[in-house]
Amino acid sequence: MTTIKDIARVAGVSVTTVSRALNGYSDVNEETRKKIVEVAKQLNYSPNTLARGLVMKKSKTIGLLVSGMNRENAKDNFTFQVLCGINECASVREYDLILFNTDSSRQREKTYTQLCRERKVDGVIIQGIKLDDPYLKEVMESNIPCVLVDIPVETKTVGYVSTDNVLGAKKAVEHLIELGHRNIAMVNGYKQAFVSQQRLKGYEKALKEHGIKVKKNWIVDGEFEEEKAKEVVLSLLSSAPDITAIFCASDLMALGALKACQQQGISVPHDLSIAGYDDILLASYVTPPLTTVSQNIFEIGYEAADLLIDMLEGKAQKHHRILETKLVQRKSSARIVNI
């Protein structure tokens, strides 16, 4: 393995000069630099980032704390899309990514700070964490630069990227209202999830602004699961048959709602309109295709990385970025039929 020492020897200069030449310092004779670069190439030199990191206390590395990279969640590609976005940006800005695992009990023994310090990451992006996760508290106490996905915390070292979930939900519900619906139920995720809280807010806001009363018992939790959502929708519909539309806080739950309707012989969208959230791949493939709120997930990842690196390099003023959502109208929602 070639080191700068080797280069120094061959080029007949000192290691100091080699270091300076290779790192583009100005105070090196152009001749000398050329020579050094040449030799480096010739010897097929690659710098040792460990050694560099050791002395510089910077590694040009971003840690990724992603919950849900396990067997159960392998089919959820939200996380993957975020990852792709992060990856793309990191690569453009020449950072490497290191994946921490937060799932296995083994790693759980290590604290967040330990994880980061051991690997000397410059900063961290956290995705898929819940509001009540113990890591979250640590994040805010530690002084390691960090960007959260979909959790609105902003401090000197912590920032976040999210979409406007209130507005997104509002758009969906308003769409239903415009179709003539007044009896609109909501299947939410779970209360600890920030996005759930926001989407609920959007739902209530839309109703109120249109003079529709919010009925608490028409708001049920589907825990972001298809099966669970199906169950709650079944019981919801049996107890309140006058509901004509359901807004679901995720497409997966909308799928569950769809199944519930199928089972009950309720025709969607003729008898009941359904709107989802996320615009997952499946949304356009199911029958009927799902009306849903689309967020550019890749972009979320990209912006998260971009924000973090800006923070690391002292280029960020505000530590948050909010992305837009877009209502995608498909076939699961329709104008209400007057009976």
Partner DNA sequence: GTGAAAGCGCTAACAG
Partner DNA sequence: CTGTTAGCGCTTTCAC
Interface positions with a copy of itself (CB under 8 A): 1, 46-51, 53-54, 59, 61, 64, 69-71, 73-77, 79-81, 83-85, 87-88, 90-92, 94, 96-101, 103-104, 106-107, 113-114, 117-120, 281-282, 285-287, 297-298
Q: What are phi and psi of 125, to 5 degrees?
A: -115, 130
Closest separation in Å from C-beta 49 to a copy of itself:
5
Do residues 185 and 220 touch, judged by C-beta distance below 8 A?
Answer: yes
Q: What is the dihedral of CA 297, 298, 303, 305, to 10 degrees?
A: 120
d(CA 46, CA 300): 33
Closest separation in Å from C-beta 127 to a copy of itself:
13
Closer to DNA by Cβ: residue 56 or 99: 56
Closer to DNA by Cβ: residue 36 or 300: 36
**Which of DNA, a copy of itself, none interacts with 4 (beta carbon under 5 to 8 A by kind)?**
DNA
Q: Which of residues 16-45 bind DNA (CB under 7 A)?
A: 16-17, 19-20, 22-23, 26-32, 45
Residues 6+ apart with CB under 8 A from 169: 198, 199, 200, 201, 202, 203, 206, 247, 249, 277, 293
**Which of a copy of itself, DNA, none interacts with 83 (beta carbon under 5 to 8 A by kind)?**
a copy of itself
**Which of DNA, a copy of itself, none interacts with 20 (beta carbon under 5 to 8 A by kind)?**
DNA
Q: Which of residues 47-66 bind DNA (CB under 7 A)?
A: 47-48, 51-52, 54-56
Half-sphere exposure at residue 288, Cβ-oriented, CA atoms within 13 angstroms: 20
Sign of CA dihedral 295, 296, 298, 302: negative
Neighbours of 337 (CB within 10 A): 10
* Candidates 4-12, 94-102, 132-140, 286-294; binding stretch for DNA (CB under 7 A): 4-12
**Which of DNA, a copy of itself, none interacts with 73 (beta carbon under 5 to 8 A by kind)?**
a copy of itself
Do residues 63 and 121 touch, judged by C-beta distance below 8 A?
Answer: yes
Closer to DNA by Cβ: residue 14 or 192: 14
d(CA 77, CA 321): 22
d(CA 56, CA 304): 25
Closer to a copy of itself by Cβ: residue 124 or 176: 124
Closer to DNA by Cβ: residue 21 or 193: 21
